Structures are given as structure tokens and as C-alpha cells.
Amino acid sequence: VLICSDLVAVTFAGALAIMVWSRVQPLADPLAFLQMWPVALAIPIGFFFIGLYPAIGVGVVQEFRRATLFVTAVFGTAVAVLFLTGQAAQTSRGMFLLAWLFMVAAIPLARGLVRHMLAWRRWWGVSAVVLGAGKTAELLLSRVLDHAGTDMKVLGCFDDDVRKQGTDVAGVRVL
């Protein structure tokens, strides 16, 4: 699901960059930018290798940092390849800059929207159990349940104290 949201965000950002830059610079050739389609495929492939799929346990700040650095690296590589192959003059730098800026913004926004829409679905997230049912478990469960974007679904708590078994901690059953 995150792969699809990333592809949609990349496509949207590229299309928006073409539309905006065509207004600013009517002589720019949008078809030259459309030849950069490998960039759109490189981003989700790279996200897989840097741990952004499924991104479980990766904090929002770390996810934003990784995504931004990788998108920047992809665009930097594309600029270097265009320069080395002698095609840099055919590609609009402004359109390239806008596409980078829009992608850096669109990818985390799309991911956040997907998480917000799907966080309460039963099938979304990774199943987890909590060992213990004390104060720390209660604090952990309240954090996980209050922040559905962590992509974790707590199935239950295990505790060796028979008095706690069969009770609930923050709405989660103690087994």
C-alpha cells in the first residue's frame, strides 16, 4: 500500500512540476522531463532497500529523513547522468528543482494520509504482543493505541502474575 502511495505521490509531484514550470517558462519542453521516468521507478525500489517498506518501527522523523535523502540522491544522480551524457541543456533545471521539492513534500504527505485512512483497519499494521502487564506496559499500550500511525496492532499482553491474567490493560487483554 505504501508503494502505491509513493508512486502516486511521485507521479503527482512530477505532473505538478511540469504544470507549474510550464506556466513560469512556456518555452520549456515538458517531454524532456517525461523522459526521466526511471526516477519514478528508482524511488520505490530504493525505499525498499533503505527500510521504508514496510517502515515498521521507523519514526516519522527518521522516515522523512531517509526519504528526503534518497530522493535528493536520486535527483543528484540524474543531474550527473544528464550532464555526463551531454543532455543537461535539454532538461529544464527549474522543472527539475520543482519536481524534487514537490516529491520531498508529497511523499510524506501521501504516506501520512494512507496511514491515517488505514490505521484503524484490522489488516493494517504488524501484530505485536507486550510482555508484562504493569505500569510500563500500560504506558506503552496507551502510546501505541493513541498513535495509530506506528503501524502496530497489539494482540495482547503476557504476564506471569495469575492475578492479572484475564484482565485488561489499556483495553488490551492480559493472557
Three-state DSSP state, 57? coil
pLDDT, tens digit, 9 for 90 and up, residues 78-127: 888 888 887 766 677 888 899 999 999 999 999 999 988 887 777 777 78
List CB contacts of 112: < 8 A, sequence separation 6 or more: 149
pLDDT value for 148: 64
- CA 107 – CA 40 distance, rounded (Å): 12
pTM: 0.77
Q: Which of 96, 98, 104, 80 is nearest to 33 (CA)?
A: 96
The amino acid present at 82, given as its one-letter code, is: L
DSSP SS3 for 100: helix
The C-alpha atoms of residue 5 and residue 63 are separated, in whole angstroms, by: 14
- Mean pLDDT, all residues of the chain: 87
Model pLDDT for residues 8-19, shown as the tens digit of each residue = 999 999 999 989
Residues 6+ apart with CB under 8 A from 5: 110, 111, 113, 114
Count, residues in the chain: 175
